[in-house]
Chains A and B, each alone.
Chain A
Amino acid sequence: MANNAPNGTIRLEIFRYSPDKGEEPKFQTYEVPFREEWVVLDAINYIKDELDGTLTYRWSCRMGVCGSCGMMINGIPKLSCAAFLREYYPKPIRVEPLANFPVTRDLVIQLDDFIGKLKSIQPWIVRKDGEKPVSEGVYLQSPAEHARFKDFSMCINCMLCYSACPVYGLEKEFLGPAAIALAQRYNMDSRDQGRSQRQEVVASHEGIWQCTFIGECSAVCPKHVDPAAAIQQAKLSSTIDWFQEVLWPWGGKK
C-alpha cells in the first residue's frame, strides 16, 4: 500500500512518571514513522511495540467509543485515537496524562474521584415505587421526550471535560461537567422520578454553583454532549425550585 509507506518521522515528547523510582516526572522523546492515516494512539502503540515496552497508557477500542485513551495532546485534552498525526506534522507532539487528575504512571491517571462523583448522581432510572415487573412491559417514551436528553446520553465517561475545566483543577470537590450532564440526562428522562434525590448532590455547594461557565468542557467533548449546556439548564431549574419554595409555599416541596 503506497499510502501506508513511512514518509519521514514525527517526534513525540511523552510524559513519563514512575512511582516506584521516586523521581520527578520527565519528558522522553521518541521518533516515530509519520503516516497520513495514523493517530497519536497508533504512534504510541508503535512506541510500545517497537521502541520502549515500559511506556504505560490506557486504550481499548481505538475508535472513539470506549473513552479510555484521553490524553493531553499539545496541552488540549483529546482522545488519542481521534487526534491525527497529520494535524501536527512536521511539528513535534507533546503527550501528557489528562490534566487535573493524579498520575498513577506515565499516561495513566487515577479515576477514583470521577467514578465516585458519577455514582453519587445515581446515573440510572429511579422510580419512586421501584421498577414495575417485566411482565407489565416497558415504560413508553415518545421520540420528542427522548430528544430532550439524547445528546447528554452520548457521554462515554472519557473525562476530557474534567481536564478542560479550570474550576475542577482548582476545586477538586466540584462535581464536574460529565457527572452533572449525566444527572441532567436522567432528570430530563420522562421515565425517571429521581430528580429530587439527585438535587441533593447537583444543587449543593459542590455542584452546579461552582461552575463559572467557561464552556471548555463542551468544546473538548468528543461526543458533543455539551455539559456546559446541561449545567446552565440545571442552574435554571434549581433557581425555579428556589423561587417555588420561597414564594410558592404550597407548590414547592415535592
Chain B
Amino acid sequence: MKPYIRPMPRDWWLQRLPYLSFMAREVSSIFVAAYVVVFMVMLSRISQGPEAYQAFLASLESSLAIFFHVVALAFALIHTLSWFSLTPKAMMLYIGENRVPSGLILGSHYVAWIAISAFVAWILLN
C-alpha cells in the first residue's frame, strides 16, 4: 500500500491571503534593512561636513531615490503593522486567572507608537 505524497506547490504563498501577507512581512525586512543602509550613509555624510551632506541630499532628489523611499515606507508600514498584530500572540499576560485581552495589548502598542512618534516629531520641529 503506497501512500500518496502530495507535492507542496512552489506558489503555495500565493494561494491564500494569510500566506501572502506572511511573505510580505518577510520581504518587508529587506526594505527596512535597505533604508537603514541609506540612513547610515546619511549619518556618515553628515560627519563629513555640510557640503558632503548637501551633495547627499541632492542625490536623493532623483526619481529613483524618491520611488525607493515611497516603496520602503510602504514596506516599513507593512512590517510595523504586521508585527504589531502578532504581539498579542507573543505576549501572554495574565491578571489573576484571566488572560489580558489581545485588544488591550495591541491597543497599548499603538498608543506607545503614536506617543513616541509624537515625541520625536516634537523634538525635530522645535
Binding site for B on A (CB under 8 A): 17, 19-20, 22, 25, 75-76, 99-100, 102-104, 110, 143-144, 146-148, 151, 166, 169-170, 212-216, 218-219, 226, 228-229, 232-233, 236
A19 touches B3 (CB 8 A): yes
Contact of B92 among A103, A144, A229 (CB under 8 A): A229
B13 touches A147 (CB 8 A): no
Contact of B13 among A166, A218, A226, A232 (CB under 8 A): A166
Residue numbers in A under 8 Å from B16 (CB-CB): 75-76
Contact of B89 among A104, A148, A229 (CB under 8 A): A229
Residues 76-117 of chain B: 1 if any A CB is under 8 Å from the residue's CB, otherwise 0?
000000000010111010101111000000000000000000
Chain A facing B: main interface SS: mixed
B89 touches A147 (CB 8 A): no
Chain B facing A: main interface SS: mixed
Residue on A nearest B2 in the bound complex, by CB: A19
Known: A144-B96, A147-B99. A75 touches B15 (CB 8 A): yes
- Can you spell out 23 A-B residue pairs with CB atoms less than 8 angstroms apart? A17-B4, A20-B1, A25-B4, A99-B6, A102-B5, A104-B1, A143-B97, A147-B96, A147-B97, A147-B99, A166-B19, A169-B8, A212-B22, A214-B18, A214-B22, A215-B86, A216-B19, A218-B89, A219-B18, A228-B89, A229-B89, A229-B90, A233-B90
Residue numbers in A under 8 Å from B18 (CB-CB): 214-216, 219
Contact of B90 among A99, A102, A219, A236 (CB under 8 A): A236
Q: How far is the CB of B38 from chain A (nearest CB, A)?
A: 27
Residues of B in contact, count (CB < 8 Å) = 25
Q: How far is the CB of A14 from chain B (nearest CB, A)?
A: 15
Binding site for A on B (CB under 8 A): 1-6, 8, 12-13, 15-16, 18-19, 22, 26, 86, 88-90, 92, 94, 96-99
* In the complex, the 8 A-B pairs of residues with the closest C-beta atoms, listed nearest first: A102-B3, A232-B90, A147-B97, A103-B4, A229-B89, A19-B1, A214-B22, A169-B8
Residue numbers in B under 8 Å from A216 (CB-CB): 18-19
Residue numbers in A under 8 Å from B3 (CB-CB): 19, 102-104, 110
Known: A25-B4, A104-B3. A214 touches B97 (CB 8 A): no
Residue numbers in A under 8 Å from B15 (CB-CB): 75
Task: Pick from B6, B15, B96 the residue with the most CB of A within 10 Å.
Answer: B6
Q: How many angstroms from the CA of A166 to the CA of B16 in the assembled complex?
A: 11
B8 touches A144 (CB 8 A): no
Residue numbers in A under 8 Å from B96 (CB-CB): 144, 147
Residue on B nearest A226 in the bound complex, by CB: B89
Q: How many angstroms from the CA of A147 to the CA of B95 in the assembled complex?
A: 10
B94 touches A103 (CB 8 A): no
Q: How many angstroms from the CA of A216 to the CA of B13 in the assembled complex?
A: 12
Q: How many angstroms from the CA of A74 to the CA of B4 in the assembled complex?
A: 20
Q: How many angstroms from the CA of A214 to the CA of B22 in the assembled complex?
A: 6
A102 touches B4 (CB 8 A): yes
A147 touches B6 (CB 8 A): no
